[in-house]
Chain A
């Protein structure tokens, strides 16, 4: 669900960078405390996996793309802070190496998918833990995709309202909330099911190898 470069106005991405800078500082502090020779290789592996998953994407008419995130597996295995830093790095590499997403959209993409997506996954897993691993992990992953999708749709859908010419012609993203919410939300209900299946598989892989979860 990357927002591509050039579709967000400076009125959106500059404040988003200010918020993201604070969040990155907070997350990096937490990550630094948890890094050692056991967590580093695991984090690198799952980060690379999330990077690969994010590159298999399909354009969605509402102005973004549909793809698995991998942020729920990062969050459930390493915690929200580590997941946010790692996923931000994934987004940076994808934008610079493949033009997927972009530098202007990086902060909004990172906050919506990396931070809110990760926090949603962890909160949902805690709430649903009593229903068993498969259901709680699957639902956590599904919810992380859907909630992130709604945030991305909101960020895109407000562009015609806040950045337009005097005659109403949009300057950045052309479609309003009435289009983006439907166009992005509905496909991500289905994409979330794939994400849930992938996350459960990786979760089982980690559990079989007795990784310690936060």
Chain B
């Protein structure tokens, strides 16, 4: 299947899932997609559970409190909403790990251009932040004071933006030399 077909299939599945309001069906679908996702299944399931944990716990706990207080608590609702969210997030992660995201966006050149550059920038940010953190740790045996941490954060932010801009400039010049802005 082409990346575009994966995208269409994924989007169709997302819409279909939101029309299902039976927890048993959603649970069965979850079992099917977990089984179908092969060796990645436990990694994907763990990621999906971690991604939804904070929000769903907050909303579920809020619902339990409000519904019990108002005397209209329905356990099925909790099952329905949590299974639906888990299923949607799981198939999203499965799609990203199985399909080429940039390939799926290839029909929209502007989106591909921005996604490529932004993902490049995100990687640059991650690398700079890691380097700064490790350098700061290696220079401080004891926990630094708040003022030192503030100075470090300010210097880090400045470098982060400058390095990021320099790296994006290089990418843009490379694109210019290949005629990316000529159309």
A contact residues vs B (CB 8 Å cutoff): 4-7, 9-10, 13-14, 28, 31-32, 35-38, 40-45, 47-49, 51-52, 59-63, 65, 85-86, 89-90, 93, 95-100, 102-104, 165, 168-175, 179, 201-202, 205
Contacts and interface: CB of A to CB of B under 8 A. Distances in A.
A172 B81 contact: yes
B122 interface: yes
B29 interface: no
Contacts of B48: 99
Interface in B123-177: 124-125, 157-158, 161, 164-165, 168-169, 171-173, 175-176
A89 B115 contact: yes
B34 interface: no
A86 B121 CA distance: 13
Nearest to A99: B51
Chain B contact-residue range equals 35 or more
Given A40-B168, A93-B118, 9 more contacts: A44-B118, A48-B122, A62-B62, A63-B62, A86-B118, A90-B118, A96-B92, A100-B51, A175-B66
Contacts of B95: 96
28 contacts: A4-B56, A31-B110, A32-B110, A37-B169, A37-B175, A40-B172, A41-B168, A42-B168, A45-B121, A45-B164, A45-B165, A48-B121, A49-B164, A51-B118, A63-B58, A86-B118, A89-B114, A89-B118, A90-B118, A99-B47, A99-B51, A102-B89, A104-B88, A171-B80, A174-B66, A174-B77, A201-B157, A202-B161
Nearest to A198: B157
A6 B117 contact: no
Contacts of A65: 55
A36 B165 contact: no
B118 A47 contact: yes
B18 A9 contact: yes
Given A37-B172, A99-B48, A100-B51, A52 B85 contact: no
Interface of B: 11, 14-15, 18-19, 21, 47-48, 51-52, 54-59, 62-63, 66-67, 72, 74, 76-77, 80-81, 84-85, 88-89, 92-93, 95-96, 101, 110-111, 113-115, 117-122, 124-125, 157-158, 161, 164-165, 168-169, 171-173, 175-176, 181
A13 B14 CA distance: 12
B58 A5 contact: no
A47 to B, nearest CB: 5
A10 B118 contact: no
Contacts of B120: 44
